[in-house]
Amino acid sequence: MFAGKSEEVIRRVRRALLAKLKVQVFKPSLDTRYAAIEKIVSHNGLRLDAVPVQNARDILKLVKPDTELVAIDEAELFPNDLYKVLNELADKGLRVIVAGLDMDFRGEPFGPMPNVLAIAEKVDKLTAICVKCGMPATRSQRLINGKAAPYDTPVIHIGGKRSYEARCRHCHQVPGKNGKKAK
């Protein structure tokens, strides 16, 4: 969270459009942040039109024959078979850009992302800044009423600055994980 993943997707898509490439952008229909159903929206307010889809297979049905680049945001919200769709797109010669969280709020691999990372030709791992200590943050701290969410909280929860904070490994807390209690 707050590392600039959506912002980077938007930047790369805009560059591709400047290069006159045929681009299609997709996002999971679960992502309704900022009341932008048909847009990717970064935390700093950048917006880009996107097609919301229920599942990864829908992307294959919607990609037009002349498309050269497919961009997908919030990939962690797709089912685990996303990597198969990405492989199909890449095997057809399309350039594919994917952004998503590699870990959930528990600090564990998130949904399809381990497989997506495994098949990627190139991976750029962006980090945020820990709101507690200022070190590089690689984790998303889910908050409930200002406190660390317990381990048994559902993994999927769409939210922004009120629900999540960027944290480093040291400052990240998950009460109930490995029998630990909140500090």
pTM, two decimals, is 0.90
Alpha-carbon distances of 131 from 41, 98, 137, 167, rounded to whole Å: 22, 26, 8, 6
Q: Are residues 61 and 11 in the same domain?
A: yes
Looking at 69, 96, 119, the residue that finishes a domain is 119
Same domain, 133 and 168: yes
- Residue 27 and residue 113 in one domain: yes
Catalytic residue among 7, 74, 76, 165: 74
Q: Is 121 a catalytic residue?
A: no
Mean pLDDT of the chain: 91
Q: CA nearest 180: which of 158, 151, 145? A: 151
Which residue segment(s) compose the domain that 156 sits in? Answer: 128-179
CA distance linking residue 54 with residue 69, whole number of Å: 20
Q: Indicate the residue among 119, 138, 171 that finishes a domain.
A: 119
Q: Which domain CATH number covers 15?
A: 3.40.50.300
pLDDT tens by residue, 103-143: 999 999 999 999 999 999 999 999 999 999 999 999 999 99
What total number of domains does the chain contain? Answer: 2
